[in-house]
Amino acid sequence: MTRIVLVGTGNVAWHLFEGLRRTKDLAVIQVIGRSAKALAPFSKATSTGDFNRVLTDADLYIIAVSDDAISTVSQLLKLKDKLIVHTSGSVPKEALAQGVRRGVFYPLQSFSRDRSLNLREVPLCIEAELPADLALLRKVAGSLSEQVREVTPEERRQLHLAAVFANNFTNHCCHLAHEVLKQRNLPFRLLLPLIRETSEKLREMTPYDAQTGPARRNDRKTLSQHQALLQNGIRSDVYTLLTKSIQQTHAEEL
């Protein structure tokens, strides 16, 4: 039985906790957090505590807190020679306290507390300093997900950057679409079937092949009509730049 202490009570901690509970060979023996209120949902299923009560006999400590807090939290644990990992896509493992065995356990997903999620499909990217620690992380990750990937620090950074384009920026484009609709009091839900189909298509074809629209076919009439509707401002700038980027991408077809 691999004994795990989970540090943090946010969305990532919650989904890892839910996933770990369903496994056979792994046990979350404790969840650590600052606030009793935030610990309450965890306390129904395991032992909980603050930073003065950290169990010292676990095989693995997973720090699932915001990027800024990782370094401080890892020091508050006051552990020596233990395997400690964080779950961030962008923080180097050297941010973890000195004198511990450092690693990373990065789930490539966007977590919301209220949405149930199938961790088995979520890519888990792992790093460790020592081969034995990497083997343990591989085992833990493999119990949670079918997509375990050993990565280098450079690969993890690149994955995180790609995730910003595929999640943060796509979501913001949907926000801009929402703003466009609001101008005529049209409801956002009209776009939901299109948004779903846009993402589902990518399971079968590359985004290069899936690209459609006035920019790809260089439909100048529609492009200038859209610019007129957008007038000036940042939405118009986004339209201009993404149109240019699509045209560069598909330049050879035009």
Does 114 help bind its own copies (rule: CB under 8 A)?
yes
Selected binder of its own copies within 18, 113, 245, 253 (CB under 8 A): 245
Minimum Å distance from CB 217 to its own copies? 8
Judged by CB under 8 A, the chain residues 25 through 84 that form the site for its own copies are: 67-68
User: Which lies closer to its own copies via its Cβ, residue 56 or residue 167?
Assistant: 167
User: Which lies closer to its own copies via its Cβ, residue 56 or residue 212?
Assistant: 212
Surface-to-core class of residue 156, CB atoms within 10 Å of its CB (0-12 exposed, 13-18 middle, 19+ buried):
buried
User: Which lies closer to its own copies via its Cβ, residue 43 or residue 245?
Assistant: 245
What is d(CA 141, CA 148) in angstroms, rounded to the nearest whole number?
Answer: 6
Selected binder of its own copies within 34, 110, 142, 218 (CB under 8 A): 110
Stretch that binds its own copies, among 12-20, 39-47, 77-85, 219-227 (CB under 8 A): 219-227
Judged by CB under 8 A, the chain residues 5 through 24 that form the site for its own copies are: none
Selected binder of its own copies within 154, 231, 232, 254 (CB under 8 A): 154
Contact 39, 9 (CB under 8 A): yes
- Site track 187-216 with its own copies (rule: CB under 8 A), x = hit: -x-xxxxxxxxxxxxxxxxxxx-xxxxxxx
Q: Total binding residues for its own copies by CB under 8 A?
A: 90
CA-nearest of 227, 201, 228 to 212 is: 201
Minimum Å distance from CB 191 to its own copies? 5
Largest interatomic CA distance in the chain:
68
Judged by CB under 8 A, the chain residues 130 through 149 that form the site for its own copies are: 147, 149
Stretch that binds its own copies, among 34-42, 126-134, 136-144, 171-179 (CB under 8 A): 171-179
As given in the structure block, the two tokens for residue 74 are 């890892």
As given in the structure block, the two tokens for residue 209 are 């092949």
